[in-house]
Amino acid sequence: MSISTGSPSAAWTRERRLRVLGALEQAVDGREARHLQEVVTDNLRHLWRTGGKKGDDKPGRQPEEVWIRDGFVFTSAEDAHGPALPRLIQSKGLQLRLYLLMLFDAQCRHEAGSGARNVRPVSPNNGPYRSWSELVLSAPDRKNAQPMPWQTVRRLRERQIKEALVALETQHRLLDVAMAKVGRRRRDFDKLTLLAEDSNPDRQARYTVAEEQHFSVPREFFTNLWIFALTDTELACYLALRWAQAQVQPSDHNSFFIVSRERETNLRLTRTTWNSIERLQAFGLIQRTDHPGRDPYSGTIESFRDKWQAGEVIPARYAFVNDGVQQRALPTVRDALTNPVAPVRPDPLNALLGTTT
């Protein structure tokens, strides 16, 4: 399935998305000028396969799922801060991706219930583990199509990572960054302490690897680069759906739903954010089934109040496509963006510009 065609504003948004995607595809790293996406893919797969130590090919933990505590996406209506996920998507940067990547790194190296010591510097060095900048795929969004020198791209990526680390510490309290013990007062970004997923400005706890009683994302979400190919709002919807699926019996895993009140009150995700669901379907990650009487263009249901009171309205139901994340993310997203189809619902890309349904 492809992204639908639509308004000029949606076409402009699609063009910008393609430009950002092109920057990710063209970015190179190192003197050998390897494409950064290849470098990151190899490093993430090595991390999953072995635990990530340089030159070590012994099999590691190889978790098929990365487990995340419910409090990262869901909280009570009375919680003044709300869960971390909607807070993370309100600001630009790598914060959400970097935090998820840290969970992946921790679970590839540690057993459930264990703490997770950071072993990675921000910048490449001669230490035993790859740096964070070698695990992160990012590139400047530039209208000029000429590629930037790899040294410049790496410096910008390292600056983005440091900015994200500061935001995770100061704004979201999902991380502690130690201060340097010598010289001028500054943060030592190589000495990080990961905090639990449900931490907030008033309450924090050190992170320990989650047990298999919460919700999870497949390891291919990382190793096939979906974590970098999706936007923040798409990531939020994907994680919310993974959480919702975990709340139902296994027999209902291919037909589950989230009601609007729960989405707004407990997940704290706006309707504008939730419109990104349509793009997850376009990318082949999920399948959505609407109420059979819903108008495909307006999204409305005739005589909605009467049908609702009679219990005849069926909420949209979701299922994950089994081989969705098995596909390589960047070419899959590009294919959906460059091969548009006629709209079957109001264009979801309008949501990026603030339009709600």
- What percent of the chain stands above pLDDT 90? 61
Q: Quick one: CA dihedral 77, 215, 236, 46, positive or negative?
A: positive
Q: For the residues 182-206, what does the mean pLDDT come to?
A: 89
At residue 298, the pLDDT reads 47
Q: What is the pLDDT of residue 305?
A: 57
Select the more confidently predicted residue: 313 or 264. Answer: 264
Angle at 122 between CA 167 and CA 111, to 5 degrees: 85
Q: What pLDDT, on the 0 to 100 scale, is given for residue 148?
A: 75
Residue 60 sits at φ, ψ, to 5 deg, of -100, -150
* Greater model confidence, 245 or 314: 245
Place of tokens 């639908």: 4
Other beta carbons within 10 Å of 19: 13
**Mean predicted confidence (pLDDT) in 224-232:** 97
Name which residue leads in pLDDT, 291 or 237. 237
Look up residue 10 and give its amino acid. A
pLDDT at 290: 76
Segment 169-195 mean pLDDT: 89
Residue 290 CB contacts under 8 Å (≥ 6 apart), including other chains: 316
Pairing, β 28-29 against β 34-35: antiparallel
Q: Which residue has the higher pLDDT, 95 or 322?
A: 95
The model's confidence at residue 8, banded by pLDDT at 50, 70 and 90, is low
Closest residue by Cα to residue 19 from 141, 152, 153: 141
Most confident of 13-22, 130-139, 151-160: 130-139
SS (H, E, C) 269-315: CCHHHHCCHHHHHHCCCEEEECCCCECCCCCCECCHHHHHHCCCCCC
Range of weakest confidence among 3-12, 16-25, 280-289, 301-310: 301-310
Per-range mean pLDDT, top range of 171-180, 290-299, 333-342: 171-180
**125 pLDDT above the threshold of 80:** yes
CB 177 within 8 A of CB 165: yes
Q: Among 250, 240, 255, which residue's Cα sits nearest to residue 315?
A: 255
Q: Would you list the DSSP string of 193-212? A: EEB-TT-BTTB--B-BPPPT
Domains of the chain, residue spans: 8-353
Q: Indicate the range of 154-168, 223-237, 238-252, 311-325 predicted with least confidence.
A: 311-325
Please count the residues of the chain.
Answer: 357
Mean pLDDT (the chain, rounded): 85
Whole-number pLDDT of residue 91: 77
Question: Is 124:131 a contact under the CB 8 Å cutoff?
Answer: yes
Tell me the C-alpha distance between 318 and 281, whole Å: 10
84 forms beta bridges with none
Query: Contact at 8 Å (CB) between 198 and 215?
Result: no
